[in-house]
């Protein structure tokens, strides 16, 4: 048994995730973690306590339970800062998810800093959430978007990126890990290239945060975003990290309570970051549950999780490669994500048959239609691993694929 498999079986991690069992008590082989991770009982319990006996609003109340909840909410911010190697907790903004984080940067920093003829660089493999906000910004400001191509094995081509950059480039926004191909960006090299022309760089860390050790100083990026539900926490919360000096000069993007210093009908002044960007009652219980999720992941060790999940991806790719009718996409070394197609079988049909076998995969364009166009397919089947995945999930998937091939003959 390899070390990756031993991680799950020695610690019995599957048993800590109540969602990994069907209604009739059978194992559910969940291979859609890249879309959203299952939740450990520790996170469920933290959320339940926060919604129940501990619940109160934050920041405004003078009564003791409100003060305690405020401490818990801000402790979650400090825990995120520690987990990602932020310079200060004031660099951590709670948002609804990575999509909102990217829109915040586009609407606040982008509207204040981009104008006619400026350039934004994206890549072919980006999720729609890292494309559409920049298109909206370009429409409003007159900026233009350049698209960085991929290498033959599905990585962002840094040589091509360098050739795209000019003094007119104001922002580079790239996926740290592709949600379709699992390919890992050399993020520091990309940051160095962006900074060489005076551009800022944003990283979409949705697929990296659950399985890679993060250090904002080492990455040297300017903005970083990830979603709580992909890192074994709840939906409805995410994180935007940005350098404190950048946040200090960014204007608010939403108005309301909590983000103000003083309001009069003549003039309103605003709170400093991060409160300036957290209008309204925040996601209190979600932040506390996110804290629990980060504790859970950190105790296992992100570097070890990366090895575990990438090892399972290598094993699956090897098994799929033995089937003549299967086409694999992306690099052999991926961050726990494997996309493939079976000749003569639509991914949706495969997903339906696998569901009958208690195997859950993702089938479709994965919110990456430009990448599907590049690959020359309308959709792919995607199996994605989590910290709870093991060889039994691969075996169940392969049995389901063999059954599918017999059906479609």
Active site residues: 367
Q: What does DSSP assign to residue 133?
A: H
Return the H-helix or E-strand segment holding 269.
strand 268-270
Q: Which residues contact 373 (CB under 8 A, 6 or more apart)?
A: none
Residue closest to 158 by CA, chosen among 188, 181, 132, 189: 189
- The long-range contacts involving 346-349, CB below 8 angstroms and separated by at least 24 positions, are 346/379, 347/379, 347/380, 347/381, 348/379, 349/404, 349/408
Residue closest to 165 by CA, chosen among 192, 184, 135: 192
* C-alpha span between 228 and 392 (Å, rounded): 27
Task: With beta carbons less than 8 A apart as the criterion, state whether 335 and 310 touch.
Answer: yes
Strand, coil or helix: 116: coil
- For residue 274, is the peptide bond before it cis, meaning its omega torsion is within 30 degrees of 0? yes
Q: What does DSSP assign to residue 251?
A: P
Residue whose structure tokens are 């364009």: 365
DSSP 142-186: --EEEEE-B-TTS-B-HHHHHHH--TTEEEEEEESB-TTT-PBP-
Strand, coil or helix: 212: coil
* C-alpha span between 347 and 97 (Å, rounded): 27
Buried b (16+ CB within 10 A) or exposed e, 62-90: eeeebeebbebbeebbebbbebbebeebb
Joined together, the tokens standing for residue 164 give: 């795209």
Measured CA to CA in angstroms, residue 100 lies from 105, 233, 395 at distances of: 9, 17, 37
Q: What count of other Cβ atoms lies within 10 Å of the Cβ of residue 27?
A: 14
């Amino acid at each position: 048994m390899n070390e990756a498999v031993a991680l799950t079986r020695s610690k019995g991690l599957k048993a800590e995730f109540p969602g990994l069992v069907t209604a009739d008590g059978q194992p559910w082989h969940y291979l859609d973690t890249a879309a959203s991770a299952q939740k450990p009982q520790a996170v469920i319990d933290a959320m339940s306590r926060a919604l129940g006996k501990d619940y109160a609003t934050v920041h405004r109340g003078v009564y003791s339970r409100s003060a305690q909840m405020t401490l818990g909410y801000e402790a979650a911010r400090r825990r995120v800062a520690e987990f990602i190697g932020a310079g200060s907790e004031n660099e951590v903004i709670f948002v609804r998810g990575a999509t909102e984080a990217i829109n915040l940067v586009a609407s606040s920093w982008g509207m204040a800093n981009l104008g006619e003829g400026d350039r934004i660089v994206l890549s072919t493999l980006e999720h729609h959430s890292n494309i559409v906000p920049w298109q909206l910004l370009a429409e409003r400001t007159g900026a233009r978007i350049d698209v960085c191509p991929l290498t033959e094995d599905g990585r962002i081509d840094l040589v091509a990126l360098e050739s795209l950059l000019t003094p007119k480039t104001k922002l580079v926004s790239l996926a740290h890990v592709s949600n379709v191909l699992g390919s890992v960006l050399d993020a520091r090299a990309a940051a160095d290239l962006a900074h060489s022309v005076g551009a800022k760089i944003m990283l979409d860390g949705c697929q990296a945060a659950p399985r890679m050790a993060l250090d904002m100083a080492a990455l040297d990026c300017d903005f970083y975003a990830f979603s709580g539900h992909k890192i074994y926490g709840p939906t409805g919360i995410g994180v935007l990290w940005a350098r404190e000096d950048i946040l200090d000069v960014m204007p608010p993007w939403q108005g309301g309570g909590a983000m103000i210093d003083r309001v009069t009908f003549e003039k309103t002044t605003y709170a400093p970051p991060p409160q300036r960007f957290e209008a309204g009652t925040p996601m209190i219980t979600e932040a506390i549950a996110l804290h629990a999720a980060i504790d859970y992941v950190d105790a296992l060790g992100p570097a070890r999780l990366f090895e575990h999940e990438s090892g399972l991806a290598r094993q699956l790719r090897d098994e799929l490669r033995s089937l003549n009718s299967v086409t694999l996409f992306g690099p052999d070394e991926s961050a726990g994500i494997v996309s493939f197609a079976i000749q003569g079988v639509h991914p949706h049909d495969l997903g339906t048959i696998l569901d009958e076998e208690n195997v859950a995969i993702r089938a479709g364009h994965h919110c990456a239609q430009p990448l599907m166009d590049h690959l020359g397919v309308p959709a792919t089947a995607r199996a994605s691993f989590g910290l709870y995945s093991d060889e039994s999930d691969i075996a169940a998937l392969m049995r389901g694929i063999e059954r599918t091939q017999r059906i479609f003959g």
